[in-house]
Chain A
Amino acid sequence: KQEVTQIPAALSVPEGENLVLNCSFTDSAIYNLQWFRQDPGKGLTSLLLIQSSQREQTSGRLNASLDKSSGRSTLYIAASQPGDSATYLCAAYLSGNTGKLIFGQGTTLQVKP
């Protein structure tokens, strides 16, 4: 059974810091891995999708990497801003084109001005 774990559960940093959020999964046979942002009481905003054949994706100050062999993905946020404060969720697509997404518990980030 695929399990997705995110560490740390919460993180507080001063503005301007570079930071890394971690995501691990137990079964390396994942299809894709996706990072989302969720603001309090709101839905999900997709940040980056890494397909199975890819190792990383970049969008602006965000960079996500995927290492299937070690069962890990990281989300790197450069020059953090108070507006980055939110909960970040990673989700693994199960292989076999079932379409099922298994979510981690999330990392709640607070960036202090």
Chain B
Amino acid sequence: GAVVSQHPSRVICKSGTSVKIECRSLDFQATTMFWYRQFPKQSLMLMATSNEGSKATYEQGVEKDKFLINHASLTLSTLTVTSAHPEDSSFYICSASIWDDPTDTQYFGPGTRLTVL
């Protein structure tokens, strides 16, 4: 159980376009989902925390107008990279926690590799 999927797994786009990444909890309800970014040979950095039905909370230094997060249902959160530029190329990983799990364990998706040309 506790499977999280991401789509697409890999995307290549031209500079200036917008890219949407989906994160789904397949077999549980997730009131909270998290988005991370990982640059090559670096660790994961939390970008934002998204709660179903409310606005996402962004970490310091993350542009909310650049990285639009929508958490419209208990099983789906989306991250849209708007007007992408080469410096946005990265590995984006989402995670989700089960709504009634007191340990708040996060379950991670397989990641999406974004390459902006």
Contact = CB atoms under 8 A, between A and B. Distances in A.
A44 interface: yes
B34 A101 contact: yes
B54 interface: no
Nearest to A106: B43
Contacts of A104: 43
Q: How large is the interface on A (under 10, 10 to 19, 20 to 34, 35 or more residues)?
A: 20 to 34
A31 B104 contact: yes
B44 A99 contact: no
A12 interface: no
A28 interface: no
A103 interface: yes
The CB with the most chain A CB atoms within 10 A, among B93, B97, B105, is that of B105
Interface in A54-113: 89, 91, 93, 97-106
Given A41-B113, A99-B49, A51 B106 contact: no
